[in-house]
Amino acid sequence: MGTRKSCPHGGETKDNGNCTVPGPDGLPVQCVGPWAEDKHDYVQRFIEASRGARTKYLTPKGRRPAGGAAYIELFAGPGMARVSATGDIIDGSPLVAAKHAEAPFTRLIFADKEQENIDALDARLTALSRRAQLFCGDSNKLIGELVRLVPPYGLNLAFIDPFSTGQLSFDTLRVLAQVTRMDLILLFPTGMDIKRNFDRSAAKITRFLGTEEWKDRAADAREAVKLIGVLREQLKPYGYTQGTVRSVPILSGRRVLYHLVFATKEPLADKLWNSIARTTSKGQLSLRGVD
The set of long-range contacts for 129-136, using a CB threshold of 8 Å and a minimum separation of 24, is 130/98, 132/98, 132/107, 132/108, 133/107, 133/108, 133/109, 134/76, 134/110, 135/109, 135/110, 135/111, 136/111, 136/112
At residue 122, the pLDDT reads 98
* 214 in a structural domain: yes
CATH number at residue 201: 3.40.50.150
Confidence of residue 283 (pLDDT cuts 50, 70, 90): low
Backbone angles phi, psi at 95, to 5 degrees: -75, -30
* 285 in a structural domain: no
* 291 in a structural domain: no
> What are the tens digits of pLDDT across the range 141-195?
999 999 999 999 999 999 999 988 899 999 999 999 999 999 999 999 887 678 7
Q: Residue 127: how many CB atoms within 10 A of its CB?
A: 12
Q: What is the share, in percent, of the chain residues with pLDDT greater than 90?
A: 70
* 1 in a structural domain: no
At residue 224, the pLDDT reads 87
Q: Based on the structure, what is the number of domains in the chain?
A: 1
* 286 in a structural domain: no
Report strand pairing: 182-188 vs 156-160.
parallel
Q: In whole angstroms, what is the distance from residue 78 CA to residue 124 CA?
A: 9
Report strand pairing: 89-91 vs 30-32.
unpaired
* 75 in a structural domain: yes
Span 129-142, mean pLDDT?
A: 97
Residue 288 has pLDDT above 50, yes or no: no
Domain extent, residue 121, equals 6-276
Report strand pairing: 255-263 vs 245-252.
antiparallel
At residue 145, the pLDDT reads 97
* 281 in a structural domain: no
> What are the tens digits of pLDDT across the range 79-105?
999 999 999 999 999 999 999 999 999
Find out whether 117 and 28 touch, Cβ atoms under 8 Å: yes
Q: Residue 226: how many CB atoms within 10 A of its CB?
A: 13
Span 38-66, mean pLDDT?
A: 92
* 156 in a structural domain: yes
